[in-house]
Amino acid sequence: MIETAALYELENQHGSGAYGKRPTALVRGEGVYVFDELGNRYLDATSGQGVAALGHCHPAVIDAISAQAATLITCHESFYNDRRAELYALLASIMPADLKRFFLCNSGAEANEGALKVAKLLTGRNGIVAAKRSFHGRTAGALSLTWTQKYRKPFQEWLPAVEYVAFNNIEAAEQAISESTAAVVVEAIQGEGGVHPADDAYLRALRERCDQTGAMLIVDEIQTGFGRTGKWFGFERAGIVPDIISLGKAIAGGLPMGAVCWRNAHGPIDRATHGSTFGGNPLACAAALAAITTMRDEALAEKARVNGEWFFAELAALDLRGARQLRGRGLMIGLELRGRVTPVLKALQEHGVLALPAGLNTLRLLPPLTINREQLGVVADAIKAVLG
Ligand SMILES: *Cc1c(COP(=O)(O)O)cnc(C)c1O
């Protein structure tokens, strides 16, 4: 087995340098736990950045991937495929209203790229409105939608112009959205930006203004989708139907996959206007089929809602000295701190709990939706020990 020091050295020497890394090598996962190379166990309240909603190495996902790997791994969308057809049907069955058209891709950023292209193709317009504090990904189109300066600034000259409006400010959005707007892009809950939920009234006002002007309302559900917030999708709470949705993270049980979804009323896009070599490959489709079927059959969205409410109340009752505000829905929870989050993440890890930052001073918790109350209690105890 490779030694720890050698492993770190190899990654540091040959990796891009783009990532700040914690001095821990994760080598195995099982349910809500991950293990480092020394055998130390951590409760993964990150779900591997919101991906492992079913926990790590869920048996249904393992079986689906294993069987499909031995059957057919790759199949371009210029041919039909059994697993892909089944996935389209399953996705269509969980989507409300006429959100029944999909473009399958390989990541969240790619889903937002696709969403922008669909909006442009459907409207023929150029204008884009996004929210301050947003995060939509790192490729050029998705990056242009991303507010955070440190991600966007080095590339600004290459990025399309986007008008940023204050999040949850109805008046500002109504002013910015016009007859030349192609797309209005918003997260159901801003994740990276600090776990700020979109108000129901805000989403309804965006829907109304987009109806008035013919702009496409794109809701980024990459982090909030697939039960995370206590519903299948975050926008459902507001009772609206977006024109376009971007999906990723938890969609395929841990395998890389993204998807753009849009309303049937808008029809398909023209041939050859978009495409992807790996998009809709049978291996990822099989994993997604297993993951989404399990979420549905185990009612994980409802479980996230009920356990999330309980956990939120537990955290609120801790009355933490180091905390300023608790936010979130379902099992997407942000705790704004009085100080920096980095030392808190380190201390939590020493207590056996992995958590995420959201900006400089918000602690973000995205545990697997399969987590039970006893395990959530362990997270709450660690937070109390560190911030109490
Ligand atoms: C993670 C995330 C993305 C980017 O997804 P990648 O798979 O990293 O490209 C985009 N939008 C939101 C809201 C996200 O949380």
Mean pLDDT of the chain: 97
Residue 47 in any domain: the answer is no
Among 134, 135, 145, the mutation site with the greatest number of ligand 1 atoms within 8 A of its Cβ is 135
Q: Is the pLDDT of residue 136 over 80?
A: yes
What CATH number is attached to the domain comprising 158?
3.40.640.10
Q: What is the pLDDT of residues 303-361, one digit of tens each?
A: 999 999 999 999 999 989 999 999 999 999 999 999 999 999 999 999 999 999 999 99
Q: Which residue has the tokens 């301050």?
A: 132
Pairing relationship of beta strands 244-247 and 216-220 according to DSSP bridges = parallel
- Give residue 2's pLDDT band: very low, low, confident or very high (50, 70, 90): confident
Query: What pLDDT sits at residue 219?
Result: 98
> For the chain, what is the domain count?
1
Structural domain contains residue 21:
no
Full residue range of the structural domain in which residue 228 is found: 60-297
Residue 342 lies in a domain: no
Q: What is the pLDDT of residues 10-51, one digit of tens each?
A: 999 999 999 999 999 999 999 999 999 999 999 999 999 999
CB-based burial, 315-353: b 16+ in 10 Å, e otherwise: beebebeebeebbbbbbbbbbbbeeebeebbeebbebeb
Residue 1 clears pLDDT 90, i.e. is over it: no
> Is 332 within the bounds of a domain?
no
Q: Work out which ligand 1 atom sits closest to the CA atom of 138.
A: 9
Q: Please report whether residue 109 resides in a domain.
A: yes
| Residue of 104, 105, 133, 136 to test ligand 1 pocket, by largest number of atoms within 8 Å of CB | 136
| 259 contacts: CB under 8 Å, gap ≥ 6 | 91, 102, 103, 104, 105, 111, 246, 247, 248, 251
Residue 359 inside a domain? The answer is no
What is the position in ligand 1's atom list of the atom closest to the CA of 112? Answer: 10
Cβ-based neighbours of 291, under 8 Å, separated by 6 or more: 53, 54, 58, 60, 61, 226, 250, 251, 252, 253, 254
User: Where does ligand 1 bind, in terms of residues with CB under 6 Å?
Assistant: 107-109, 112, 135-137, 187, 191, 220, 222-223, 248-249
pLDDT digit string, tens, across residues 174-185: 999 999 999 999
